[in-house]
Amino acid sequence: MTTPFSEIRRFWPKYEHGIGLAVVLIGFTHARLRYCLMGQNFSAQRLGTARLAYQSAQETNAAAPEVNLATVDFTCALEVEAAYQAMQTKIGASINDTHFKSGAKPDCVAALASLTLRRFADGQGASTMFIPSSRDKALTTLAEGLSHTGLEASLQSLDNPAEANQFSESLAYRDTLCLAAHINWLGGELHLKEGDANDYYLHFDRARARGKTEVESTALAIKAHGPAPDAYMQAALAYRTAALAYDRAGLFAQAAEAYAKSAACYLKAATAYLRIDQPAQVAKANEAAAKAGEAAAKANEAAARDLQGIADAHHEEGLREPAKAIFREAARALSKAGGVYENMGLRERAAALYTAAAQAYAKGDQRELADKHHKRAVDLLMDAAKAYADQQLHENVVGAYAAVADTSAAVAGAYLERGLREPAEAIFNEAAKALSKAAQDYEKQKLHEQAARVFAVCADLYTRGAKALARADWHDEAGKSYKKAATSYEHAALFERSDEALGMAARAYWSAAKAFSEAGQHKRAGVAYSFAALIFIQTRQFTHAEEAYSMAAKAHSEAGDHHSVAIAYRSLAGVYAKQGKHVQSAGALESCAKAYQRCVPPMEYLVALAWHEAAYFYTQAKRRVSAQIAFTNAETAFRQGHQLQHAGAASLEVQATVSMRNELDAEAARVLERAAGLYEGTGEFGAAARACSSAATCYMASGMYLHAAKLYERAAKLYEQAAQIYSQQNWHEKAADAYEHVVDAYEHVAYAYAMEGGRGDQAEEALELAGDQLMEAGSRAIGRYEVVRCRERAAYFYVRAGRPELAEHAYREAGLTELEAYERVARAFMQDHQYLRAAHAWQKVAAYAAKDLVSMAAFSYEQAAKAYLALRRPERAAEDFERAGDKYMEAGERAIEPHDAVRWRERAAHAYVLAGSTEKAVHAYRQAGLTEQDAYARVAAEYMQAGQFALAAAAFRRAGLPDESAVVALARENSAHADQVVRETAPGHLSSTVKRTTI
């Protein structure tokens, strides 16, 4: 908060008006202090006079008693009093009477003696308890009692500290600054009185009292009011100068008061200038008032920091009552600063200061004022939030609400430091309710993401309150608020297709689960963890999903809900399965079976199904022994549950597993088919589908592909039936897994048909069905990421099925433009080696882009030609290469930059070469800037590289080069030595041309 003298000189120039009032205005020119007293500058001559007076006083001082302050015990009142008296005698003898106003010397000498003792005691760190008079009173006495000469001498150390006099020996540097401030303050008071004496309304009322008309009174008042603006400006500047000195001395409270007085005087000056019609001066005065007001606020902040430090120290020392008084003083300073910022329209800054004031009042045992300031801070922040909302600045809105939470927590914390629990609880509760209402209002306006963020702020406040006050029920409230935040984020994700919002929903559910756990609501915690896991699965964050389901299982276990534990483990198995972690999936299902076994009464049927599913995962991982044990456990559980048909099927699966261990795959497949029939007969479609799928795998291993295809197809239909049943029972997660299995089964159908041979149409039909399933999955997905993933996978299957129109539609649904969709399909066909379809697709891209994107059209024709080359149809490829060349030439004509035109024409020439169109290729190179001979030579070189030796020979001939027949013959004989033949045929000429033109 300190202000260096150079800054004072820069920003506050010295006013030198002949006012005739006792005021000192501090300004700095170069390295010395200058100030005005009675409207006159102190000259070098007067400074010399002061020095002579000091020397005279020094001679007089020879007879004065010596005082050794080093021997004074400042803890002894008698010794301090004796030293005080001795110092008065010494100082009175050493300072000339001309330094004081008439009759003021005794008081001023006593003040100097007091300040001398204080300076010495401060230097030693000694007590000042017994030193007479306070520092401020002594300085005020000097400011009022020193003459002009005395003022100059006392302030000399500010200008030249090296030159000592009696004043500099008595006054510490800080005391000198304070003295300067006091003098300027007095000057400000005098100028303010002068301005008030010329008040417009005062003169107007006097004129009316003398019987003047209103017009006459107005004219007289304006005339009399003329000196007032300058007087107010002088007062403002004097107060401001005082403030700067107080600030430099570290007396921030006094600086703040002086700045405030300065601001008030500037405002009075502005009003006065307005009366005499000087708008430019009005603006300047108002601007100066605003700056002075802000400086007052900053000084109050600095003062409050110092006071709070002192109060904290007193409180730690056990001085409770003095600490409270100082906290209250700090609170008043902060409140004043807050008021300034509030008037400036800076709501959040004002709120922060009101919050600090509320904390200080709470520490000062003034609850009413603390509550008042806290409420004002909250109101300002709420107003700020509304203003931001009107401007659609939603980030700032949430920031304002977060500040409400921080404000409330801070004030509540101040109460708790004093052991006041009740007001702290009230503040937390009221703020949380206000935030919850704000969030609900956002939700009503369908601003879901904003609502979610405010709900999260509310939840965080409840959490802070719960920890501060040991309120477990508030952890529960925090959990509810986090859950509302998660729901709002899900709404945002649904309506805005926002993956980011979906991710935030998962984190909110996670936070809700932690809060519920803190509250001892373990069942709720488990449910929240499961919701988080579902979202993590949708956004393909499987590691987080694994952790979430594990936490859910643990929470349900602590709640003693074994059924929910089993469901969590089953879901965890599904997450592992999506990543191909079959052994981990089986392990999770074993835990699931054990949890069902612990239920009261035990749920044998579900136990059996869990073991059954675990067995199939072990089978996929080729853990035959573990699979056999799991199937045996499933059979046992089915029998205990009196599910005899199921038990029979499981027994068959045990047999099949033994057959697989003995590498009797065909036999195992037939046994599994029978097991699938038994499961299907009981309506257990999931188990039937697993048996069919496993049987099909065994048939594939035996080379019985047609059998395998039929069973995979049957498995797909069974999985679909199972998925529909799961959806009806609201087991959406299991339904999603079943639909994934449908897709996998159809893909296996296609593979089996492909292996069988001659079944291409049936394979493509299966792939199309897989694509259809994925499109349906995309329509059910919530997050944008999952929607795009499903539809892009569907497009991939449609491409493999040879259905470009369905693939294009899928890509369009995934968010691509029409042209992008066409291009993706064409590239996919190329990657899948379906060259004829790829060629047609690229031609479609070219036709679409032909009008506006000619370079894209040209590229597409090139790709189509490459597809025809892959099909060994060079004539058809040549047609598309020529079309590509034509489009590249068109692109060159449309190009704006010359280098772009050259680039497109060179690509055109290359395409023409690949098409075997020599004349067009030469023309393109000519357009690109080559001579005719160089163009033919370059075309010939490209033909040589392409292995088209006859065309190369013709081009060489047109280039005017020697006998081309030898080149062609030898090139056909050994193309690797073509360059050498050229060099031998035309030494020094043909060789250099080829090297120069070869790409």
3-state secondary structure 44-65: HHHHHHHHHHHHHHHHHHHHCC
Angle at 878 between CA 875 and CA 881, to 5 degrees: 160
The span from the CA of 572 to the CA of 553, in Å, is 9
658, two tokens:
């033994």
385 contacts: CB under 8 Å, gap ≥ 6: 397, 400, 401, 404, 438
- In the 8-state DSSP scheme, what is residue 146? B
What gap in Å lies between CA 938 and CA 944, rounded to an integer?
10
457 C-beta neighbours (distance < 10 Å), count: 27
Angle at alpha carbon of residue 35, lines to 30 and 39, rounded to 5°: 135
Instruction: Evaluate whether 64 touches 41 at the Cβ level (below 8 Å).
Output: no
Q: Report the pLDDT value the prediction gives residue 164, as an integer from 0 to 100.
A: 62
CA–CA distance, 912 with 939 (Å, rounded to integer): 9
- Per-residue model confidence (pLDDT) at position 159: 63
Distance CA 97, CA 86 (A): 19
Taking the C-alpha atoms of residue 413 and residue 418, their distance in angstroms, rounded to an integer, is 9
Q: Token digits for 632?
A: 């045996």
Close Cβ partners of 417 (under 8 Å, ≥ 6 residues apart) = 363
Q: Which amino acid, one-letter code, is at 38?
A: M
- Locate tokens 């066909």: which residue? 829
For Cα atoms 893, 895, 901, give the angle at the middle one, nearest 5 degrees. 75
What is the predicted pLDDT for the residue at 567?
Answer: 92
Q: Between 949-958 and 932-946, two packed helices, what is the crossing angle to 10 degrees?
A: 170
For residue 480, what pLDDT is reported? 92
What backbone phi and psi angles, to 5 degrees, belong to 33? Answer: -80, 135
Query: Are 370 and 314 within 8 A, CB to CB?
Result: no
- The per-residue pLDDT for 532 is 94
Q: Which domains does the chain have, with CATH numbers?
A: 66-171 (no CATH), 187-344 (no CATH), 382-541 (1.25.40), 561-633 (no CATH), 834-966 (1.25.40)
Residue 783: per-residue pLDDT: 59
Which string of b and e fits 705-733 if b means at least 16 CB within 10 Å?
Answer: bebbbbbbbbbbbbbbbbbebbbeeebeb
Looking at residue 793, what is its pLDDT?
Answer: 87
Q: What is the DSSP letter of 132?
A: S
CA distance 499 to 536: 11
Residues 385 and 393: beta-carbon distance below 8 Å:
no
Task: Tell me, yes or no, if the pTM score tops 0.85.
Answer: no
Residue 388: both structure tokens together? 């931001």
State pLDDT tens for residues 59-82. Answer: 434 444 566 787 888 889 899 999
Non-local CB neighbours of 602 within 8 Å, separated by 6+ positions = 596
Whole-Å CA distances, 208 to 201, 216, 274, 631: 10, 9, 22, 114
Helix-helix angle 949-958:918-927, to 10 degrees = 50
**Identity at 76, one-letter amino acid code:** C
| pLDDT (0 to 100) of residue 982 | 45
Which has the closest alpha carbon to 534: 580, 492, 567?
567
Which strand (E) or helix (H) includes residue 29? strand 27-29
The pLDDT of residue 344 is: 75
- The contacts of residue 601 (CB under 8 Å, 6+ apart) are none
The H helix count followed by the E strand count for the chain is 47, 4
Tracing tokens 């007032």 back to the chain, one arrives at 228
Going from the C-alpha of 52 to that of each of 49, 58, 164, 727, 780, the distances in angstroms are: 5, 10, 13, 107, 100
> What is the distance between the alpha carbons of residues 46 and 50, in angstroms, rounded to a whole number?
6
What's the pLDDT at 809? 92
Closest to 745 (Cα-Cα) out of 716, 723, 767, 720: 716
State the pLDDT at residue 367.
Answer: 75
Listed residue (848, 833, 831, 835) closest to 876, CA to CA: 835
- Cα–Cα distance between 777 and 789 in angstroms, integer? 10
Question: Helix, strand or coil for residue 41?
Answer: strand
Q: How many Å apart are CA 319 and CA 332, to the nearest integer?
A: 20
Q: Which residues of the chain have pLDDT under 70?
A: 1-67, 157-166, 177-178, 181, 183-208, 210-212, 214-228, 276, 389-392, 394-395, 496-498, 781-784, 961-999
Q: What is the pLDDT of residues 458-489, one digit of tens each?
A: 898 888 888 888 888 889 999 999 999 998 88
Kindly list the distances between the CA atom of residue 361 and the CA atoms of 297, 357, 365, 431, in Å, as whole numbers in the listed order: 18, 6, 6, 19
Other C-beta atoms closer than 10 Å to the C-beta of 533 total 30
* Residue among 613, 703, 709 at smallest CA distance from 665: 703
Beta carbons of 123 and 70 less than 8 angstroms apart: no
Pairwise CA distance, residues 817 & 803, whole Å: 18
How far the first Cα of the chain sits from its last, in Å, is 73
Question: 21 is written with which tokens?
Answer: 């009032």
CB 849 within 8 A of CB 823: no
